[in-house]
């Protein structure tokens, strides 16, 4: 990483090899930020992505850099943050975007798989936040954007652990937002809906095949769910992932103290307009389950009071 000492605002984006992270890094750089696009295995499996990002920076003459960072490794996170602050002098915006998921019956994921899921989606953002907050505190300013999911509000069958990790990150983000309010450091949650990004093709399969076999009666729903997601993400009405990058950039450019805690990005899974007293997320959950032919899984009526 070359010397980049700058008077620009400095942003760190995790999971920037593809998807929301890469689009966000590029968008912020085009808006005049000094951006560090972080990812694992810069010299290995992500070497091509790293090279493409650096070539884009050169071609468009934007302040965009690549840094090695594995959100599941304390030493990697600390080293990356130290390198950025040493080179750029500060960190103004952190986008905790890195994450992953699995699809299948909750029981059929091994304990180790669940621990890995939470390490990536929940502990990872906490690691990064702990590493950057001392610098933001010294600056007396900063913004942490945690990318969760509408799955952080709506749990669907066969994505239980992914949803649980995003629910957890939502709760952590709320706590951080309260605790940092007196320090001029904002925390914002961005909840993407369903977007055509590489994460869909990277879903982890359950490790306990014996437990999974016990859910044979529900496999038709799992198949319908997968097919429905495929249609949603490939159809003409699919949301553009750039929406998420633009949402994050808009939050970064808002005045400190005026940023909303939560922002939903995208149309799919957004909470519907409901009658007074209804829970919009429960209504949307019911609509989605019914839409994929899983109405028989609904055993509890939606609360109206």
Give the torsion through C-alpha atoms of 227, 232, 234, 239, to 10 deg. -160
Query: Active-site residue among 33, 122, 162, 215?
Result: 162
Helix 242-253 and helix 19-30, axial crossing angle in degrees, nearest 10: 50
CA 204-230-297 angle, to 5 degrees, is 75
Q: How many CB atoms lie within 10 A of CB 99?
A: 26
Q: Which residue has the tokens 């945690």?
A: 146
Distance CA 193, CA 106 (A): 21
SS3 per-residue string spanning 104-150: CCHHHCCHHHHHHHHHHHHHHHHHHHHHHHHHHHHHCCEEEEEECCH
Distance CA 52, CA 122 (A): 29
Q: Cα–Cα distances in Å, from 44 out to 37, 49, 210?
A: 16, 10, 34
User: Is residue 176 annotated as part of the catalytic site, yes or no?
Assistant: no
Q: Catalytic residues, which ones?
A: 162
């Amino acid at each position: 990483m070359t010397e980049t000492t700058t008077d620009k605002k400095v942003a760190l984006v995790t999971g920037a090899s593809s998807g929301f992270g890469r689009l966000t890094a590029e968008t912020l750089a085009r808006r005049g930020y000094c951006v560090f696009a972080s990812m694992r295995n810069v010299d290995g499996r992500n070497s091509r992505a790293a090279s493409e990002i650096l070539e884009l920076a050169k071609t468009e003459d934007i302040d965009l850099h690549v840094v090695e960072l594995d959100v599941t490794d304390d030493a990697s996170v600390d080293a990356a943050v130290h390198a950025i602050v040493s080179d750029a002098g500060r960190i103004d915006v952190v986008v905790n975007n890195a994450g992953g998921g699995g699809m299948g019956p909750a029981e059929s994921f091994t304990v180790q798989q669940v621990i890995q899921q939470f390490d990536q989606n929940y502990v990872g953002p906490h690691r990064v936040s702990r590493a950057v907050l001392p610098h933001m505190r010294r600056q007396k300013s900063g913004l942490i954007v945690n990318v969760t999911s509408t799955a952080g509000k709506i749990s669907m069958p066969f994505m239980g652990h992914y949803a649980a990790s995003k629910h957890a990150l939502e709760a952590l983000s709320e706590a951080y937002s309260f605790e940092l309010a007196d320090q001029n450091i904002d925390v914002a949650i961005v909840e993407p809906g369903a977007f055509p990004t590489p994460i869909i093709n990277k879903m982890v399969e359950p490790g306990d095949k014996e437990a999974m076999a016990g859910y044979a009666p529900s496999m038709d729903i799992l198949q319908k769910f997968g097919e429905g997601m495929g249609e949603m993400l490939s159809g003409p009405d699919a949301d553009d992932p750039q929406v998420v990058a633009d949402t994050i950039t808009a939050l970064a450019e808002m005045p400190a103290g005026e940023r909303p805690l939560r922002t939903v990005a995208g149309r799919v899974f957004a909470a519907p307009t409901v009658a007074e007293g209804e829970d919009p997320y429960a209504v949307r959950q019911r609509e989605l389950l019914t839409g994929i032919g899983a109405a028989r899984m609904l055993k509890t009526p939606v609360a109206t009071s």
